[in-house]
Amino acid sequence: MQDPSLYPDLKAVLEELQQALGAERARHDAGAPLPPDPNVSAFAPRDTRAVLRPGSVADVTALVGAFHRAKASGAGLPGPPHGRGHPRGRRSAPRTVVGPHRRRRRQLRPHHPLLVPHPRHRARAPERQLPAPPARLHASAIDLSWSELTEDRFVRLLQNYGAWHERNSGPDAPGRHLSTLFNANARRFGSLAHYAQSSSRATLDRYLAALLDGTGLTPRPVERPSGELAAMPNLFTPRELPWLDAARMVGSPNPVWANPLARVGLKSAYHRRNFTGHQLKAAYRHLSQTDNPDTSLVLLSFGGAINAHGEADTAAAQRDSVFKVLYQAIWSRPQDDERETARLRAFYGDVYAETGGVPVIGGVTDGCYINYPDTDLADPAVNTSGVPWHELFYKGGHERLRAVKRRYDPHAVFRHKLSVAP
């Protein structure tokens, strides 16, 4: 489960942040520069002291607002500091940023580091820095009933899924223009729900045929919500949709967001290769036995342009995976926390029992997804692989992230139980 104690008290963090900002502002006013740091990697934001005034949460709001405006405009976060290396070799006149209360909040320079594109993108207009989506997509949604599933059929189905992605997740693979979300739900739920979309109807048809090949399963319409998938009976026969309509089919609406009492347990794994036989048999066993219908093995397509970059290019080090797996359980009562957390831990540990209970780096798997900060990975009683939690999340990039942390947050004001230490 996403442990509530994973994050420190917000009020205490804000107070500590204000104190740190005050100290940094005093250093700035005294003319003390930041020391050069050759270890700061390309994904590090630059010095932001010039736009902050200590003592007000509004300062943080203004900075976050600038971040999101830069992101929305397509500007990359990193950029050179003012002066040496500045795009124009000099400081430029400031401009006014109006905050949410329509007051003059801060003076941001037009070439403030947060608004300067990454060097790789400086020659391109902001609107050209994001990949252009296709105008239209072909979308499909099918249900597969547990009443037709045996262990052999389940194994064949998921092996088919993995095999397609092994063949089509390279940056130049012929079937890379396809994305899927596959909820392999518990037997108590009644069915497995699968959603796929592609800019090519021929690619989508080939994929669906390959997915069901040799399984003997009869697809049905998706008549009810499943995880992050809404009911989509109108997509049983693939339909062509505008890109935005197809993109909105995933994640909104869904029963997790609709349930304010939902308590969610999540674990993750990147797969570089298809599942092993042991992994799929363990998954079938746990999905068959649990009495929680909202337990799922969620499969997500991965690769394509993501795999065109190197491991050290950004903070996201997983660059040759073919699909991502989420182990998910949803429940509503706090008194069920311990039981559901233990079940999910056992599910995950059994699937990766061959590698110390976790998806180790190299071979079949390639670590875990940091957006689901799983404290079990830091517990040697659960993670018996000998691979530290930070390597599972960041691989070889952990020390570079520590260098960034030492430079911009040396007192660990921003922290949680699995945050990068200075």
Percent of the chain with pLDDT over 90: 60
Q: Name the band, by pLDDT with cuts 50, 70 and 90, for residue 9.
A: low
Q: Name the band, by pLDDT with cuts 50, 70 and 90, for residue 163.
A: very high
**Structure tokens belonging to residue 257:** 């967001």
pLDDT of 422 over the 90 cut: yes
- Stretch 101-121: mean pLDDT, rounded? 45
What residues contact 202, with CB distance under 8 A and at least 6 apart?
none
Percent of the chain with pLDDT over 70: 70
pLDDT tens by residue, 29-44:
665 554 443 333 333 3
Q: Which residues pair with 323 in a beta bridge?
A: 271, 301
pLDDT of residue 261: 87
To the question of pTM greater than 0.75 for the whole model, the response is no
Q: Which of 20-24, 139-143, 347-351, 368-372 bottoms out in mean pLDDT, i.e. has the lowest?
A: 20-24
pLDDT of 263 over the 70 cut: yes
pLDDT of 217 over the 50 cut: yes
Q: Which of 101-110, 136-145, 364-373 bottoms out in mean pLDDT, i.e. has the lowest?
A: 101-110
pLDDT of residue 15: 72
pLDDT of residue 45: 35
d(CA 389, CA 384): 11
**Structure tokens belonging to residue 34:** 């930041």
pLDDT of residue 104: 46
pLDDT of 359 over the 90 cut: yes
pLDDT of 214 over the 50 cut: yes
pLDDT of residue 250: 76
Q: Name the band, by pLDDT with cuts 50, 70 and 90, for residue 3.
A: low
pLDDT of residue 130: 75
The domain spans of the chain are: 7-128, 136-399
Q: Name the band, by pLDDT with cuts 50, 70 and 90, for residue 251.
A: low
pLDDT of residue 133: 84
Q: Which of 45-49, 223-227, 389-393 bottoms out in mean pLDDT, i.e. has the lowest?
A: 45-49
pLDDT tens by residue, 86-96:
333 344 444 44
- Stretch 148-158: mean pLDDT, rounded? 98
pLDDT tens by residue, 385-419:
999 999 999 999 999 999 999 999 999 999 999 99
pLDDT tens by residue, 311-334:
988 889 999 999 999 999 999 999
| Three-class secondary structure assignment of the chain | CCCHHHCCCHHHHHHHHHHHHHHHHHHHHCCCCCCCCCCCCCCCCCCCHHHCCCCCHHHHHHHHHHHHHHHHHCCCCCCCCCCCCCCCCCCCCCEEEECCCCCEEEEECCCCHHHCCCHHHCCCCHHHCCCCCCCEEEEEEEEEEHHHCCHHHHHHHHHHHHHHHHHHCCCCCCCCCEEEEEEEECHHHCEEEEEEEECCHHHHHHHHHHHHCCCCCCCECCCCCECCECCCHHHCCCEEEEHHHHHCCECCCCHHHHCCCCEEEEEEEEECCCCCHHHHHHHHHHHHHCCCCCEEEEEEECCHHHHHCCCCCCCCCCCCCCEEEEEEEEECCHHHHHHHHHHHHHHHHHHCHHHCCCCCEECCEECCCCCCCCHHHHCCCCCCCCCCHHHHHHHHHHHHHHHHHHHHCCCCCCCCCCCCCC
pLDDT of 24 over the 90 cut: no
Specify the CATH class of 136-399 in words. alpha beta
pLDDT of residue 256: 66
pLDDT of residue 112: 42
pLDDT of residue 25: 64
pLDDT of residue 355: 97
pLDDT of 8 over the 70 cut: no
What residues contact 39, with CB distance under 8 A and at least 6 apart?
400, 403
pLDDT of residue 282: 98
Q: Name the band, by pLDDT with cuts 50, 70 and 90, for residue 84.
A: very low
pLDDT of 229 over the 50 cut: yes
Q: Which of 247-261, 266-280, 301-315 bottoms out in mean pLDDT, i.e. has the lowest?
A: 247-261
